[in-house]
């Protein structure tokens, strides 16, 4: 089919469109309609493929393909390896390269650099470099696919399908709920059948982490204590029938004599909430639970001891502890873990007002202890004190408390590690061992 238009002095004149096979004349409108239809069909069929390659030990010479990449290369008669060799130097860790038109099933092929094969656990950083390299590389590849507006992508498991799934979803996350123009969604699928169950597990892990990121990124006027509790309740009830959610209001908190928690909440017009979540995954209903307690300050201005205005907007994420522990319990419920868990999150804002705590005030906690408030920006320990006291009423096997408690931790450790204080060597050993797999470094005392 010949399509065209003649431009004469800026005015388009239609040309007759002739079908080369049947020599019949066709109208310009019908020809353009067929062309657009074919274009739309092609767009609907667009699919991407992400494949991984390792660098050699000496970082020179040709890249080493993963099993999936090697199989694909054989299907295209070695063209992928050939194009990769002539397109530039060997792919470095986390770098990408895009090829088009190699295979009829995939409009775009993104090759990602995985670094050295079998790098193992880094003894200095205490993390599994193989897993982290896969996560980072697949995340970069998925973002490339999204930039190309390809709606679906198959992902090479790269020898660790769980890490690949985590990287795919974590890499595509963006808080865009309030944006008019959003990036196009990308449906991620496993390429092949190697590691199907691990892939599913990785997707659950990544969704849990993305939920925590969503809760922390939302503006404080959209993520109030009440809204936070409602979102968590909806998520939990949709994923398991073994959960019970209690959204404790101000009257309940007062009845529990949680004066320390209430002293922080009273400075804001937003009502406080103590969110109590129970997950009973164990076959033994009486098995002592693992209790998570998370700091839930949905905005921390510092109160009367007000923070500097610079970067104060980041204090919308001062409920990071609450977001983390709630997401962890939701993930445990989706994985159907065989244990009993309880989550407690004291949720409120720390704001200056005529009703707010003042430096020098003395408040009474749930356990009867009195506390002198020297700095109202040390509100985290006030809300956690009552929640931790309440946690002991469940006779737990262990209590894990997560909080963005103090900027001094960032000064001491930077953003690369989480500080841990514990009175249990056994619990610390469990955390330390798991952190090498999840690449969440911990420094303990």
381 catalytically annotated: yes
| Residue 340, C-beta contacts closer than 8 angstroms, at least 6 positions apart | 278, 279, 280, 281, 282, 285, 287, 288, 289, 290
User: Which pLDDT belongs to residue 171?
Assistant: 97
| Residue 380, C-beta contacts closer than 8 angstroms, at least 6 positions apart | 295, 297, 318, 403, 404, 405, 406
User: Which pLDDT belongs to residue 392?
Assistant: 98
Collapsed DSSP state (helix, strand, coil) of residue 50: strand
Range list for CATH 3.40.220.10 in the chain: 47-174+184-209
Q: What is the pTM of this model?
A: 0.87
Range list for CATH 3.40.630.10 in the chain: 219-405
Are residues 128 and 437 in contact, defined by beta-carbon separation less than 8 angstroms?
Answer: yes
| Nearest-angstrom CA–CA distance, 288 and 282 | 10
User: Which pLDDT belongs to residue 253?
Assistant: 98
CATH for 47-174+184-209? Answer: 3.40.220.10
Give which of 331, 322, 325, 329 is closest to 208, Cα–Cα: 331
Give the CATH architecture of domain 219-405: 3-Layer(aba) Sandwich (3.40)
User: Which pLDDT belongs to residue 122?
Assistant: 87
For the chain, 445 residues long, the average pLDDT of each consecutive 10-residue run is 34 34 42 43 72 83 89 96 91 94 95 93 87 97 97 97 97 96 96 95 97 98 98 93 96 98 98 98 95 98 97 96 97 96 98 98 98 97 98 97 91 86 93 82 66
Q: Catalytic residue, from 46, 307, 364, 441: name it.
A: 307
Are residues 335 and 281 in contact, defined by beta-carbon separation less than 8 angstroms?
Answer: no
For 112, the token pair is 């990602």
364 catalytically annotated: no
Q: Catalytic residue, from 46, 266, 381, 441: name it.
A: 381
User: Which pLDDT belongs to residue 61?
Assistant: 65
User: Which pLDDT belongs to residue 416?
Assistant: 79
User: Which pLDDT belongs to residue 59?
Assistant: 63
């Amino acid at each position: 089919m010949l399509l065209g238009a003649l431009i004469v002095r800026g005015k388009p004149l239609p040309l007759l469109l002739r079908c080369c096979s049947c020599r019949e004349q066709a109208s310009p409108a019908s020809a353009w309609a067929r062309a657009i239809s074919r274009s739309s069909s092609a767009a609907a069929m667009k699919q991407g493929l992400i494949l991984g390659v390792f660098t050699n030990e000496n970082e020179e010479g040709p890249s080493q393909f993963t099993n999936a990449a090697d199989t694909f290369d054989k299907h295209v008669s070695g063209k992928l390896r050939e194009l990769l060799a002539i397109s530039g130097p060997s792919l470095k860790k986390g770098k990408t390269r895009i090829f088009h038109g190699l295979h009829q099933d995939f409009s775009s092929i993104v090759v990602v650099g995985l670094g050295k094969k079998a790098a193992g656990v880094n003894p200095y950083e205490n993390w599994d470099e193989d897993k982290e390299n896969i996560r980072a590389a697949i995340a970069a590849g998925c973002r490339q696919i999204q930039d190309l507006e390809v709606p679906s992508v198959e992902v090479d498991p790269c020898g660790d399908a769980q890490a690949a799934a985590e990287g795919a979803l974590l890499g595509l996350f963006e808080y865009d709920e309030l944006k008019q123009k959003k990036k196009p969604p990308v449906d991620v699928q496993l390429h092949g059948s190697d590691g199907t169950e691990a892939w599913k597990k990785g997707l659950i892990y990544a969704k849990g982490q993305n939920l925590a990121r969503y809760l922390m990124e939302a503006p404080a006027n959209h993520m109030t204590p009440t809204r936070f509790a409602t979102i968590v309740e909806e998520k939990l009830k949709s994923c398991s029938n073994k959960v019970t959610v209690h959204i404790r209001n101000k009257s309940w908190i007062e009845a529990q004599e949680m004066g320390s928690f209430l002293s922080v909440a009273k400075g804001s017009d937003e009502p406080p909430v103590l969110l109590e979540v129970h997950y009973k995954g164990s076959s033994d209903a009486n098995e002592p639970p693992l209790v998570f307690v998370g700091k839930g300050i949905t905005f921390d201005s510092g109160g009367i001891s007000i923070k500097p205005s610079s970067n104060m907007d980041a204090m919308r994420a001062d409920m990071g502890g609450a977001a983390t522990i709630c997401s962890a319990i939701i993930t445990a419920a989706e994985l159907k873990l065989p244990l009993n868990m309880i989550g407690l999150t004291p949720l409120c804002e720390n704001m200056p007002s005529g009703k707010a705590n003042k430096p020098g005030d003395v408040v009474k906690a749930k356990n009867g202890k009195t506390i002198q408030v020297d700095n109202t920006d040390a509100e985290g320990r006030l809300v956690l004190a009552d929640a931790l006291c309440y946690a002991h009423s469940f006779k737990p096997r262990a209590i894990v408390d997560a909080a963005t408690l103090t900027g001094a931790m960032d000064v001491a450790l930077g953003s690369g590690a989480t500080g841990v204080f514990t009175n249990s060597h056994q619990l610390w050993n469990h955390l330390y061992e798991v952190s090498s797999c999840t690449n969440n470094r911990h420094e303990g005392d």
